[in-house]
Amino acid sequence: MHDMSHAHVAHQAPTSFIRRNIFSLDHKVIGKQYYGLALVAVFVGMVLSWIMRLHLGWGNLAIPGLHLLSANGAPGDVMTPEYYLQLMTMHGTIMVFFVLTTAPFAAFGNYFLPIQVGAEDMPFPHFNMMSFWVTFVAFLVMIASFFVSDGPTLGGWTQYAPLSALGAVTGPGQGTGVVLWAASIAIFCVGQLFGSLNFITTTLDMRTKGMSLWRLPLSTWAWFITSVMGLTAFAVLMPACILLILDHVAGTSFFIASNLVVNDQLQPHAGGSTLLWQHLFWFFGHPEVYIAIVPGMGIVSHVLISNMRRPMLSHRVLVYSMAALAVLSYMVYGHHMFVSGMNPISSIAFSFPTLIITIPSTIIVLIWMGSLYGSRLRINTASLFALGMISMFISGGVSGFFLAQPSLDIMLHATYFVVGHFHLVMAVAAIFGIFSGTYFWFPKMYGRMMNETIGKIHFWLTFVGTYCIFMPFHYLGLAGNVRRYQAFVDDYLQPLIPVHKFITVAALATGAAQFLFLYNLIHSRFWGKPAPNNPWESTSLEWATPSSPPPFDNFGGTLPTVYHDPYQYGIEGSTGDYVMQNSPEKIETVREEP
C-alpha cells in the first residue's frame, strides 16, 4: 500500500501477448479474467453439488468413477461420510468466495466501473493485476487441498472452532486440509482488499467531467458500496484465518478451550475461546452475504432500467437503501449465533436490527416494482433474468422473517430452512444477477451478441428448476431436517427422503441446463453476430465508447463529458426515447423530485 503512482503505466497499450492477455494492467482484461475464474469455479462447485445431491437422494448408491476423484473418499465408488462433508465444505467455500464474490463484484466491477465513471483505467493498475493473480493463487491453494493425503477440510465453509483448530485428531481433512483452507482464504482476502482499494479510489477520484456522485449509474453505486463493505469485512477475516493457522501449526490456543478430550487423548491446548472464532467469522460472514447480493441489485437495476425505458422511481432512495444494507449488515451478524451459547439478551439485541434490515430490502423491491408500473418493459434474456432475480430475492427474503427471530431459530437453526433461505436470497439471486449482467454486457465485452433463443430457453429451465430445488428446502426445514447430514438415519427423517430425491432430480436437470449457457457463451464469443455500439439503446457511459469492445483506453483518447443524470429514458431525444449521459443536447430531464 506504499506506492500509489502507477496510473500513467496503464496508458501505454502493451504490445507483448503476455502483458496484454495474462499479466495485463488493463481493467477490462482483469475483469474478463475474474469472469473466467468465476466460470471455472462455478462449474466445479456445481459438479460437487451434483455428487452431494445424488448421495442424499440415493444413500449408498455407487457413483461410477467416483473413486477416481478420491480413492479414500469413495472406496468402491461409495461415498464415505467424511468425503460428503469435504465436498460440501468445498462447494460452500468455492461458491461463496470464488463465484459470488468474484463474478458480480470483481469481474463486472473491474470491467465496467471505470468505464461508467468515465475513466481510462483504475488508478492503481498494478494493484488491480495483483488483485486477480492473488485471488487466482488462492483458488489454486483451495483446489490443492483436494490432492493432499486425507483430502480437503470437512469443517463447513464457516469452519467453526475447535473442530477446525484441533487438527487431524478430529477427522480426515482437519489437518493439512484446514491449513490450506485458511491459507487460501487469507490470500483471497488480500486480493479483495487490493480490489476494493481500487474500486473506492476510482469512484471517488477518477470520475470524468460532469460525473457527480448522483450521476453515477446504480451499478457503479452498488460496486462502490460493496467495495466499502469488502474493505472492512475481508480486513477482519484475514487475521482470523492467520490465528486459525497458528492454532494448527504453532500450538497456540486462540480458539481451543481447555480440557478437550479427543479419541481418549487430552488435548494440550488451554483456555481458548470457541465463540471468538464465531464472532470474528460472522463479523465478516454477514457483510459477505451483502457483498454477494448488492452488486446483483445494482446490475439488475441497471439492466431493468434500460429495458423499462424509464428511470427508477427514485434513484437516490435505491442508493440510500443499499447503503443502509451495508451499514446494518455489520450490526446483525449475531443472528447466526442465537443458539450457540451467546448471552440470551444479546440474541434479542441482535434480533431487532436483523428484522429492521428487511425495511431497506423491502424498499428496494418496492422501488423495482413501482418502477415496473407504467413502464414500457422490453422482454429479453437480460431483463427476464433481472425479473427472475427480483422474484428470487422476494422468495428468499420472506424466509428471513423467521430466521431473524431467536424463538423460531430454536426450531429452524441449522435445518434445510436456512439452506433454502440463503440459497435463494443470496446465491441464486446473485447468480441471476450475474446472468442478467452477462446477457446485457456481453455485446460490449466481446463485440458480439449472445443468442437470444438459447438464452431464453436457458432462463426458463433455470428459473423453474431453481424453484423446484430450493422451495422444498423450506418444507424440509420446517419438518426439522438437519443440514450437513450425509445420510438420514434418524427415524423422523426417513419419510423425507422422497423429497430429497425430487430435489436431486431437479438439481441435476437445472445443472444440465447451465451447459446451454456455456455453449451460448463460447459460441457467441466467436460466431455471434457482431454487436453495434449500443445494442440496448442505453444511456450510461459504457455504451458511449467508440467501439465494442472498447479501445484500450476506453474512450479513444478523449474522456467523455457528462451532461445528464444516468438514466434519461422515456423522453423526446434526438436518438429516440433516450439521451446518452454524454450527449450535450438540452432536454427536459427526468429529475428527482427534491
Partner 1 sequence: MMKGEYKLKIAAVLSAFLLVATGALILNQRVSAAADGTITGSVKLTGTPPHMKGIDMSKDPYCVKQHENNPPKMENVVASSSGALQNVVVYISQGLTGNEASAVSSEEPTFDQKGCMYTPHVLALNVDQKYKVITSDQTTHNIHPLPAPGAGNIGWNKSQPPGAPPIETSWKAQEVAISVKCNIHPWMHGWFAVVKGPNAVSDENGSYTIKNVPAGSYTVTAWQEDLGEQTSKVSVAAGQSAKADFTFKSK
Partner 2 sequence: MAKVFAVTLIIIAILSAIPILRHTWWLPQDISTHGQAIDEQMSETMAEAGLSFLASQILLAIFVWRFSRPRPGEKIKNFPGGAMGLVIAAFLLVGTEVLALGAFGAKAWASIYLTPPAADSVPIQVQAGQFAFYFRYPGPDGMFGPIHPDRINEANQNLFGLDTDHDPDSKDDIVTAEMAVPVNREVHLLMRSKDVGHSFYVPELRVQQDFVPGLDLSIHFTATKIGRYEIVCTQLCGLGHYNMKAYLSVMSQDDYDSWLKKQAALQ
Partner 3 sequence: MATTVHEPPKIDEQHSPGLTDGSGNAGWRDLGPGDGRVRVGQQYSPPPSSTGIWVGLAAISMTFAALTSALVVRKGGSLDWRHFSLPSILYLNTLVLFASSFTLEVARKKIASFMKGQRDVTANPNRWLYATLALGLLFVGGQYLAWRQLSTQGLYLATNPSSSFFYVLTAAHALHVLGGLGGLVRVIGKLDHLTLRRSTLDATSRYWHFMDVLWLYLLLLLWMKL
Residues 203-242 that bind partner 3 (CB under 8 A): 204-213, 215, 231-232, 235-236, 238-240, 242
Instruction: Kindly calculate the radius of gyration of the chain based on its CA atoms and give it in whole angstroms.
Output: 24
For 126, residues 6+ apart whose C-beta sits below 8 A from its C-beta are 6, 9, 25
Q: Give the 3-state secondary structure of residue 131.
A: helix
Give the separation between CA 372 and CA 312, rounded to whole angstroms.
Answer: 9
Among 263, 343, 453, 558, binds partner 1 (CB under 8 A): 263
Q: Which residue has the cell 451478441?
A: 449
Specify the residue for cell string 437453526: 413
> 30: number of CA atoms within 13 Å, CB side?
31
150 binds, among partner 3, partner 2, partner 1, none (CB under 5 to 8 A by kind): partner 1
Compute φ and ψ for 566, nearest 5 degrees. Answer: -60, -35
As given in the structure block, the three cell numbers for residue 115 are: 468505464
Tell me how far apart the alpha carbons of residues 174 and 513 are, in angstroms, rounded to a whole number: 35
Size of the site for partner 3 (CB under 8 A): 89
The amino acid occupying position 345 is I
Residue 276 interacting entry, from partner 3, partner 2, partner 1, none, C-beta within 5 to 8 Å by type: partner 3
Binding segment for partner 1 among 71-79, 272-280, 310-318, 407-415 (CB under 8 A)? Answer: 71-79
Among 64, 76, 530, 584, binds partner 1 (CB under 8 A): 76
Task: Closer to partner 3 by CB, 121 or 409: give it.
Answer: 121
Question: How would you label 90-106 residue by residue, b for 16+ Cβ within 10 Å and e otherwise?
Answer: bbbbbbbbbbbbbbbbb
C-alpha cell at 119: 475513466
- Give which of 554, 521, 534 is closest to 438, Cα–Cα: 521
Q: Kindly write out the interface string for residues 10-29 of this chain, putting x where it contacts partner 1 by CB under 8 A and - elsewhere.
A: --------------------
For partner 3, which stretch binds (CB under 8 A), given 200-208, 335-343, 373-381, 495-503? Answer: 200-208
Q: Which is nearer to partner 1, 264 or 588 (CB)?
A: 264
Interface with partner 1 in residues 200-229 (CB under 8 A): none
The Cα–Cα gap between 442 and 457 comes to: 18
Closer of 125 and 285 to partner 2 (Cβ): 285
Separation CA 126–CA 131 (nearest Å): 8
- What residues from 565 to 594 belong to the interface with partner 3 (CB under 8 A)? 586-587, 589
Choose between 168 and 365: whose C-beta lies nearer to partner 1.
168
413 binds, among partner 1, partner 3, partner 2, none (CB under 5 to 8 A by kind): partner 2
Q: Long-range CB contacts (< 8 A, 24+ apart) of 270-274?
A: 272/161, 272/162, 272/165, 272/247, 274/160, 274/161, 274/162
- In the list partner 1, partner 2, partner 3, none, the entry touching 248 (Cβ below 5 to 8 angstroms by class) is none
**Quick one: which of 167, 177, 272, 334 contacts partner 3 (CB under 8 A)?**
272
Rule CB under 8 A: is residue 169 a binding residue for partner 3? no
Q: Would you tell me which residues interact with partner 1 (CB under 8 A)?
A: 60, 62, 72, 75-76, 78-82, 150, 168, 171-172, 263-265, 487, 489, 491
